[in-house]
């Protein structure tokens, strides 16, 4: 549905407006009391979230493409139904089809001007993927307020078990990657994708980033936090129904070479992703549903 139709059905004067972009995408612009955000219908991709008087919490690359069928570099890409390359189909798109798929807006619920919840739907018929031809219904809700709550639920519409990976691939804005310390992962085993997938426990506490970092923590259920001493910002990432956490920054070489990221943009983002990946992929029984949630809160760095 295009912007005019969405405004007629879901628009809320002064709070929720749908717009066509110059390259033919449709986005929702949310403006509440001090809280703002943007969500593209393509991929149901949240690309901006601001809090009262605060800097943007999410990072979206100034060099990102915003064209139909191209993944937007930033915000919260929905990774589903596989993470990374598709092991059985090298020609399949990296990170699955959900982040470039045409999600449908199913509902909007406003809590005055404090918060707004938008719910999106995607079904197998919307994508007809040859790489994962399962019958499914995905529902994704975004609650924008002073905190951000994201929920991805997948229904198995078949009568047999299906397997899928998933992640909310969140890009956090940071003052500079050198100012960042990530807590909540110490002692957890991670797959180091910069070291050919070697598995080792994280000994550093907190995790700081001084080189390319692409770490998949397969079995962590704890809350993580990003402390950014450059902005005196403490971002808490709580989760439920998600066993894996990924920490990624491409660093100088890869970051500068990415046309939709570049230098110095790579210095101003870190991904801390919530998901169910590899060994922790979801194995969902027939006629059942799995839900994963993440709740993101922002405050000042607590006194030691």
Catalytic site residues? 169, 273
Residues 296 and 304: their CA atoms lie apart, in Å, by 21
Which residue has 């937007």 as its token pair? 72
Positive/negative CA dihedral, 80, 81, 87, 91: negative
Smallest distance from ligand TA6 to CB 84, Å: 5
Residue nearest to ligand TA6 (CB): 248
Which residue number, 228 or 273, has a Cβ lying nearer to ligand TA6? 273
Which residue number, 75 or 145, has a Cβ lying nearer to ligand TA6? 75
Question: 275 has which bridge partners?
Answer: 167, 244
Residues 57 and 102: their CA atoms lie apart, in Å, by 25
Smallest distance from ligand TA6 to CB 146, Å: 27
C-alpha 188: how far from chain center: 22
Smallest distance from ligand TA6 to CB 41, Å: 19
Which residue number, 103 or 231, has a Cβ lying nearer to ligand TA6? 103
Smallest distance from ligand TA6 to CB 275, Å: 9
Smallest distance from ligand TA6 to CB 75, Å: 11
Pairing label, strands 180-183, 207-208: antiparallel
Smallest distance from ligand TA6 to CB 184, Å: 17
Interface residues toward ligand TA6, by CB under 6 A: 71, 84, 94-95, 169, 193, 214, 246, 248, 271, 273
| In contact, 140 and 103? CB cutoff 8 Å | yes
Which residue number, 6 or 296, has a Cβ lying nearer to ligand TA6? 296
Which residue number, 35 or 242, has a Cβ lying nearer to ligand TA6? 242
Which residue number, 51 or 169, has a Cβ lying nearer to ligand TA6? 169
């Amino acid at each position: 549905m295009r912007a005019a139709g969405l405004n007629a059905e879901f628009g809320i004067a002064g709070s929720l407006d749908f717009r066509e972009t110059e390259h033919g995408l449709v986005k929702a612009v949310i403006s509440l009391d001090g809280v703002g955000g943007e969500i593209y219908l393509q991929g149901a991709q949240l690309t901006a979230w601001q809090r009262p008087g605060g800097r943007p919490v999410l990072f979206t690359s100034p060099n990102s493409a915003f064209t139909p069928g191209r993944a937007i570099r930033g915000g919260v890409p929905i990774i589903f139904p596989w993470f990374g390359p598709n092991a059985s189909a090298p020609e399949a798109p990296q990170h699955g089809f959900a982040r470039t798929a045409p999600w449908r807006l199913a509902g909007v619920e406003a809590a005055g001007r404090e918060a707004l919840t938008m719910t999106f739907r995607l079904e197998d018929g919307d994508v007809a993927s040859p790489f994962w031809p399962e019958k499914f219904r995905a529902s994704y809700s975004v609650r924008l307020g002073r905190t951000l709550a994201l929920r991805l639920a997948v229904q198995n519409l078949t009568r047999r078990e299906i397997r899928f990976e998933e992640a909310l691939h969140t890009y956090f804005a940071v003052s500079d990657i050198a100012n960042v310390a990530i807590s909540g992962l110490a002692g957890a085993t991670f797959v180091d994708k910069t070291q050919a997938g070697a598995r080792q426990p994280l000994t550093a506490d907190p995790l700081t980033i001084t080189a390319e970092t692409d770490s998949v923590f397969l079995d962590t259920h704890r809350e993580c936090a990003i402390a950014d001493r450059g902005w005196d910002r403490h971002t808490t990432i709580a989760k439920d129904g998600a066993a894996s956490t990924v920490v990624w920054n491409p660093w100088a070489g890869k970051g500068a070479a990415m046309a939709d990221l570049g230098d110095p943009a790579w210095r101003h983002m870190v991904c801390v992703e919530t998901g169910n990946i590899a060994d922790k992929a979801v194995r969902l029984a027939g006629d059942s549903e799995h839900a994963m949630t993440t709740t993101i809160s922002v405050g000042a760095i607590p006194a030691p």
